[in-house]
Amino acid sequence: MGRCRICGRESNLIAGWLGLCRECILKEFSRARPLIERAHRESRREFNLPETVPDDESGVVCPQCGNRCRIGEGQYGFCGLKKNAEGRLKQVAGTPSRARVEYYYDALPTNCVASWVCPEGDQHATKFRLMLRRKKNLAVFYAACTFNCLFCQNWHFRYDREYRHYLSATQLANAVDADTNCVCYFGGDPAAQITHAIATSRIILSRSKNGHQQNVRICWETNGSMSRPFIRKMMELSLESGGCIKFDLKALDYRLNYALTGVSNTTTLSNFIWLAENMLPKRTDPPPLVASTLLVPGYVTPEEVYKIARFIARLNPDIPYSLLGFHPQFYFNDLPITSRRHAEEARAAAEDAGLRRVHIGNRHLLIRDDY
C-alpha cells in the first residue's frame, strides 16, 4: 500500500518507491517533478550509475541516443558505457569489437512480443517464410539501457559491476547456426550498444548472401531512443531479412513517461513517426513495425492506452499493438499483477482509438480478480 506524497491518498496502485499517484503526476507535475527525480537518483545510486542525465556545459556530447548526454571530464553517460576521457568520448562497451552482451536460444514459437504477427504463425506464405525445421531464436541480451524504468522486468544485469560477458560482433554472429531462424536484440536495450548490434547483423546477413548460411530474420525490442541514423539502419536490416522493430511505448504523456523512466520520450515518439511515414510503406507483410505497452497497474491505465493507440492509429491503423501484463519487479515490486479486467479494458480502448490489430500478450501472467 503506497501513499501519494502530494494528495495523501493511499492505494495499492501507488508504488511506494515513487510515492506519487498517476493523477498528481499529470495534474501537479511541477510539484511532482522533484519527487520523481529523487526516486530515480536513489534507484541508480545503488548500482553506481550516473544519477541523472549528464548536462555539463563544458562536457562532451554523446549523440548516440535522445538523452544527448553532455559528459563532464572523467564522468560517464547515463547508460554507464560512455566516458569523457581527457575531452574525448570513450565507449567502454558497445563497439563492434566489444559489448556487454549475453545470448541464449529460445525454442520456436517463442515468447516474442511480435510472435502473433510473425511469419512462422502467418497463414499466408511470404517470401520471408523460413524452413520449419529451423526451430531456434537467438535471443541477444544487451546489458545496458538508456532508460531507467522503475518497473524494469530485466533489471538484474545492473548488479554486474564487474561484468564478464563481453563479445565482439563476430563472436556473437558465430552463435547463429543451421537451426537459427531469427535473431532478437533486447535487454536492457540495444540502444546503448547499437553499433555492436548493427555490426553483428551485417555479418549475419552477409553470410546469408554469400551462401554460408540460410536467411535469418533480424528483429529488435527497444525503447526506440537511439538517434535517427541508427533507427534507419535497424529498419533497413529488418526489411532486408523479413524481421521487425518492436517499440516498447511506455506512455504517451511526457510527464508520465518521465515519472516511469526518468527520461524524455521525445526521441522515441519521433522515431516511431518517422518509421511509420518513411519506412513502413516499403513492406506490409510481415509487418516491419510493431508496438507494445506494459500495463503497469495504477499508471498505464486504459485511458493512457487509448492515447498511445490513437497516436499509432493516426499514423497507420494496421500497425500491430500488443498489451503486456505487468509482474511486480524492481522498484515497483509492491504493485499488483495486471488484472484480466485491466487488460481487456485496455484492449477495448486501443480498438476504440482506431487500431485494427490489438493483442493481449502473456495472458498467463494476468490475475483473475480486479484490484
The DSSP secondary structure of 165-200, one letter per residue, reads -EE-HHHHHTT--TTEEEEEEEES-GGGGHHHHHHH
Task: Tell me the pLDDT band of 124, cut-offs 50, 70 and 90.
Answer: very low
Tens-digit pLDDT profile for residues 341-359? 999 999 999 999 999 999 9
Phi, psi angles (nearest 5°) of residue 353: -75, -10
Q: What whole-number distance in Å separates Cα of residue 315 and Cα of residue 313?
A: 5
Residues 183/187/193/199 CA torsion (nearest 10 deg) = 0
- Interstrand relation of 2-3 and 289-295 (parallel, antiparallel or unpaired): unpaired
Q: Using alpha carbons, select from 220, 229, 233, 232 the residue that is nearest to residue 187.
A: 220
Is the Cβ–Cβ distance between 286 and 119 less than 8 Å?
yes
Global pTM value: 0.94
Give Rg (Cα) of the chain: 20
Cβ atoms within 10 A of the Cβ of 8, count? 9
Residue 287 pLDDT grade (very low, low, confident, very high; cuts 50, 70, 90): very high
Given this model, what pLDDT does residue 293 score? 98
Confidence at residue 8, expressed as pLDDT on a 0 to 100 scale: 97
User: Which of 326, 316, 319, 311 is CA-nearest to residue 363?
Assistant: 326
What integer pLDDT is reported at residue 120 of this predicted model?
60
How deeply is 251 buried, as exposed, middle or buried, from its count of CB atoms within 10 A (0-12, 13-18, 19+)? buried
Domains of the chain: 1-46 (no CATH), 51-92 (no CATH), 99-365 (3.20.20.70)
Q: What grid cell was written down for 155?
A: 533489471
Q: Tell me: pLDDT of 210 over 80.
A: no
222 within 8 A of 247, measured Cβ to Cβ: yes
Taking the C-alpha atoms of residue 18 and residue 299, their distance in angstroms, rounded to an integer, is 11
Tell me what the pLDDT averaged over the chain comes to. 92
pLDDT over 70 percentage in the chain: 94
Residues 6 or more apart whose CB falls under 8 angstroms from that of 284 comprise 318
Average of per-residue pLDDT across 8-25: 97
